[in-house]
Amino acid sequence: MSKLVSYEKAAAEFDPVLGIEVHVELGTKTKMFDHAPNVFGEEPNTMVTPVSLGLPGTLPVVNKKAVEYAIKIGLALNCSIASSCRFARKNYFYPDIPKNFQTSQFDEPIAYDGYLDVELEDGAVFRVDIERAHMEEDAGKNTHVGGAAGRIQGAEYSLVDYNRAGVPLVEIVTRPITGCGDRAPEVAAAYVQTLRDIFRALEVSEARMERGNVRADINVSLRKTPEDKFGTRTETKNVNSFRAIDKAVRYEMRRQATVLLEGETVIQETRHWHEDTSSTSSGREKSDAEDYRYFPEPDLVPVCPSKEWIEQIRSSMPEMPAVRRKRLIAQWGISDVEMRDVINAGALDLIEATIKAGTSPQSARKWWMGEISRIARVQEISLEEVKVTPEQICELQSLIDEKKINDKIARSVLDSVIQGEGQPAQIVKDKGLEIVSDDGALEKAVDEALNSNPDVVESLKAGKMQAIGALMGPIMKATKGQADASRVREIIMEKINL
């Protein structure tokens, strides 16, 4: 294929249609159909029971908590909840599925016919129609050893880990998403991000993309105009970050546009996403004739959530992220863009908790988005993993507000807190870090500074107020950084009669 056409050209020449399937691993204590613990990162094949291994004679039993979580997700996506639904078997041979069929919902999903309003960068709202949300179990994980780049081709042998097999999943399938035009990449990424935020708010999943808790398969097709019927689609599998989703849609639009502009036809197939090159490559060809031989799972009775139960779940639903965000934007008096930064930093809950503890929104945000974010970046950990609590930040800020310490001292106190040296007020007391506001001591330090910097004094007299900065260093040094900077300023002004 020749060089890909530009994105602008692709978007100008064609109308993209998206279809997105998102899998979310539910954070239940046990697996979808058995008692094995649902945990990540343990030694291979240790988090299994005879059921998760699909041993002869074993039977599945539905995890009620997983059903509850699926209903929560359905309700959050404005879906109808089925009064009765069934599991089906999806039959296919692959070493990572213990039974050689996946227990999934086929024609009877637990939730169907919903929608999700997705807010884009500029505040525009795009509605994505949801066809269904259904329950299923995850597969195990194959590791191919000896071949290049962990691929099965050329591998000497393959290892199978069934720890993930049977982990509860909810798959959310959109209806064809039309009308997004050149904003298709943004819509796709924002949709998945909105879902991720909902999963977290519902506390049904840790929803960590990097761990594969949330996985997106992105279908893209192009047509000449919105009046034409849908073009042939490709499905890019397992795209694992919001940025990658944006890029994958962008790439597929360019690739398909190039194919179509050359008069060729797009092949219906799955495609692999390559993070390193930001491109996709052909996977296996997938035709609609692929035969999974679905039939109702005879080992499970139908799932029939009662009206009462559904209503009980509905009434216990937390505030949805979009609503909460709007409320907080107003309460905190910040912009949409600032809010997005807070969310991206993972600071929303922490800031809210700090405000709840008694800090002003502005100060709370400053701490978490400033100093603590910096520390997290340096240590390469998440904000939540920084060893300081919202209550401690609140205490620290109070010390500043009461003028007992200044910002600089506060930062060193924060370091001490993180080192586990104790509570902020105690640390200030123990180390004698309180601000020196005793005018006698300050005047002495100012005098010394003025005397040893006559040129600065000249500049000040000439009206160059910024020169005052040059005096602050020696003064702070003389007072071990504990001088009240504003009081120092006042004293300097008095001394040179300005």
Applying CB under 8 A, the residues found at the interface with other proteins are 50, 53-62, 89, 91, 93-95, 98-101, 158, 160, 289, 291, 293-295, 298-301
Task: Compute the least distance from the CB of residue 304 to other proteins, in Å.
Answer: 12
212: nearest Cα among 244, 250, 184: 244
Task: Compute the least distance from the CB of residue 168 to other proteins, in Å.
Answer: 15
Task: Compute the least distance from the CB of residue 303 to other proteins, in Å.
Answer: 10
Q: Distance between CA atoms of 268 and 270, rounded to whole angstroms?
A: 7
Number of neighbouring beta carbons within 10 Å of residue 231? 20
Return the number of the residue (86 or 255) whose C-beta is nearest other proteins.
86
Task: Compute the least distance from the CB of residue 68 to other proteins, in Å.
Answer: 17
| DSSP conformation letters of 462-477 | TT-GGGHHHHHHHHHH
Task: Compute the least distance from the CB of residue 87 to other proteins, in Å.
Answer: 10
Q: Which two tokens stand for residue 19?
A: 């279809």
Q: Distance between CA atoms of 497 and 341, rounded to whole angstroms?
A: 45
- Residue 313 Rama label (left phi>0; alpha psi -120 to 50; beta): alpha
Task: Report whether 251 contacts 216 (CB < 8 A).
Answer: no
Task: Compute the least distance from the CB of residue 135 to other proteins, in Å.
Answer: 14
Task: Report whether 69 contacts 81 (CB < 8 A).
Answer: no
Q: Which two tokens stand for residue 88?
A: 């089906």
| Backbone angles phi and psi of 464, in degrees to 5 | -85, 85
Return the number of the residue (1 or 157) whose C-beta is nearest other proteins.
157
Task: Compute the least distance from the CB of residue 286 to other proteins, in Å.
Answer: 14
Q: Report angle CA 180, 185, 191 to the nearest 5 degrees.
A: 80
Task: Compute the least distance from the CB of residue 61 to other proteins, in Å.
Answer: 5
Task: Compute the least distance from the CB of residue 64 to other proteins, in Å.
Answer: 11
The three-class DSSP label of residue 154 is: coil
Return the number of the residue (1 or 289) whose C-beta is nearest other proteins.
289
Return the number of the residue (78 or 158) whose C-beta is nearest other proteins.
158
- Residue 211 Rama label (left phi>0; alpha psi -120 to 50; beta): alpha
Return the number of the residue (158 or 270) whose C-beta is nearest other proteins.
158
Task: Report whether 83 contacts 200 (CB < 8 A).
Answer: no
Return the number of the residue (154 or 179) whose C-beta is nearest other proteins.
154
Cα–Cα distance list, 272 to 8, 219, 248, 450 (Å): 23, 12, 10, 69
Number of neighbouring beta carbons within 10 Å of residue 349? 15
Return the number of the residue (299 or 402) whose C-beta is nearest other proteins.
299
Task: Compute the least distance from the CB of residue 49 to other proteins, in Å.
Answer: 8
Return the number of the residue (27 or 60) whose C-beta is nearest other proteins.
60
Return the number of the residue (91 or 423) whose C-beta is nearest other proteins.
91
195: nearest Cα among 341, 367, 25: 25
Q: Distance between CA atoms of 165 and 140, rounded to whole angstroms?
A: 4
Count how many Cα atoms sit within 13 Å of the Cα of residue 39 in the half-sphere of its side chain: 11
Task: Compute the least distance from the CB of residue 100 to other proteins, in Å.
Answer: 4
Task: Compute the least distance from the CB of residue 290 to other proteins, in Å.
Answer: 9
Residues 6+ apart with CB under 8 A from 339: 325, 328, 329
Q: Distance between CA atoms of 498 and 495, rounded to whole angstroms?
A: 8
Return the number of the residue (59 or 317) whose C-beta is nearest other proteins.
59
The three-class DSSP label of residue 24 is: strand
Dihedral over alpha carbons 370, 371, 376, 382 (to 10 degrees): -50
| Backbone angles phi and psi of 2, in degrees to 5 | -75, 180
Instruction: Cite the DSSP H helix spans in 203-263.
Output: 242-261
| Backbone angles phi and psi of 317, in degrees to 5 | -70, 135
Return the number of the residue (56 or 420) whose C-beta is nearest other proteins.
56
